[in-house]
Structure 1
C-alpha cells in the first residue's frame, strides 16, 4: 500500500500547481537547502490533510458557505505570493522584501501556500472512502497509502527545488527575473481562478 500510495501521489504531482511553481522559484532564488524547508512545510500540510481525511473530519468543510470562505482565503494567500514574486522579478526591492504574513521563512511560506487549499481534505476523504468500501482496506493500509502519497510529494518537490537551484547556477540574472515574473503571473492566475470557482 505504501508503494501504491507513492505511485498515486506521483500521478497527482503531474498536475502542476502553485506550490510546485513556488518551490521552483524558491530553489532559483534561495538555493536548494532553503527550498527544501519549503518542501518540508508543504509535505507537513499534506500529511495533516491526509490524516484529517482518514479521521473523517470533513462535515464542517463540506458546508457550502464554509467552502466559499476557504476558497477566498486561499485565493488571497496565493495572490499575495504571486504579487511578491512579481515584485521580486521586476527588481522592486522594497516591495519584494515585504515578506508574506511577515514571515520570510521558507518553511512557513511552504506551510501557508499548501494550506491555502484546505478543500484537499475532501478529495482525500472521497478517495479513502472509496478504497475502504471497494478494496476493503484496513485503517492501517489506508494510513500506509497516505504515507506513500506524502513521500511522493517530498520526492517530486525536492526534484523541482533542485532544478530551480540548478537554473540559479547557469542562467543569467535577467532570465531568473523573467522566470520570477512568469511564476508570479501564473500564481495570480491561480488566485483569480480560485475566486471565480468560489462563486459557483
Structure 2
C-alpha cells in the first residue's frame, strides 16, 4: 500500500507542473495579500480537488463525457474565468495609489471563497481525474481499495505544491517593488481572461 500511496503522490506532483489559471490566481492572492490568505485559498482548492477526485473514483466522470454536457460546462467555466480576470484587472487599477503602494488588506474569507468558486467552476476536472485514474489503474493493476489510496495521495500533492509555492512567493514579495507586483497582478488577470476566451473560441469552433 505504501508503494501505491507514493505512486499517487508522485503522479499528483507531476500533474501540478502543468500549472493553470487557478495557480495564477493563487499567485495573485499571495502577491496582494498575506500568507494566511494564500493558505486559505490553497485549502479551498484542495477541498474542491478532493471532491472531484471522490466523484471521479465513484464514476461520475462517465456522466460528463457527453459532448453537449462538456460544451455547456466548458462555456460556463470559461465565462467564470473571464469574469475573474476582468475583476482582478479592475482591482489592480484601483489598488495602487499615486505613491505606488499596494492598498489590499487581508481577507481570508474572501480569499477562500474566490478560490473555491474559481476551482469548482470547472467540473470537467472530474473527466481529467477519471482519465488519470483509469490509466494508472490499468498500469499498476490497482484494486478498488488501492485506487482510493492512490486518489487520496494524488490529491495531497495539491496542498503540498501550492502551499510551498505560496510560501516562496510571500517571502520573495517583500523584495519586489509595488510596481512589479502591480504588473504581475495585471498579467495574471490577462492570463485568466485569455485562457477563458481561448476556451470559448475552441468550443465555438467545435460546434461549427
Q: Please, which of 21, 33, 37 is the counterpart of residue 34 of structure 1? A: 37
Q: CA deviation at 1:92?
A: 6.2
Q: Tell me how far apart the structure 1 counterparts of residues 182 and 135 of structure 2 sit (CA, whole Å).
A: 45
Name stretches of at least 5 consecutive residues in structure 1 with no aligned partner.
94-102
Q: Tell me how far apart the structure 2 counterparts of residues 163 and 194 of structure 1 sit (CA, whole Å).
A: 30
Q: Which moved more, 1:121-130 or 1:177-186?
A: 121-130
The match for 1:153 is 158
Matches within 5 A, 1:97-176: 105-176=110-181
Number of equivalent positions: 192
The match for 2:187 is 182
The match for 1:79 is 82
Aligned residues: CA RMSD: 2.0
Q: CA deviation at 1:135?
A: 2.8
The match for 2:54 is 51
Over alpha carbons, which structure has the higher Rg? 2
Q: Tell me how far apart the structure 1 counterparts of residues 109 and 203 of structure 2 sit (CA, whole Å).
A: 28
Name stretches of at least 5 consecutive residues in structure 2 with no aligned partner.
97-107
Give deviations 1:16-55, integer Å, cap 9, x for gaps.
1111111111011111111111101111111011111110
TM-score (norm 2): 0.85
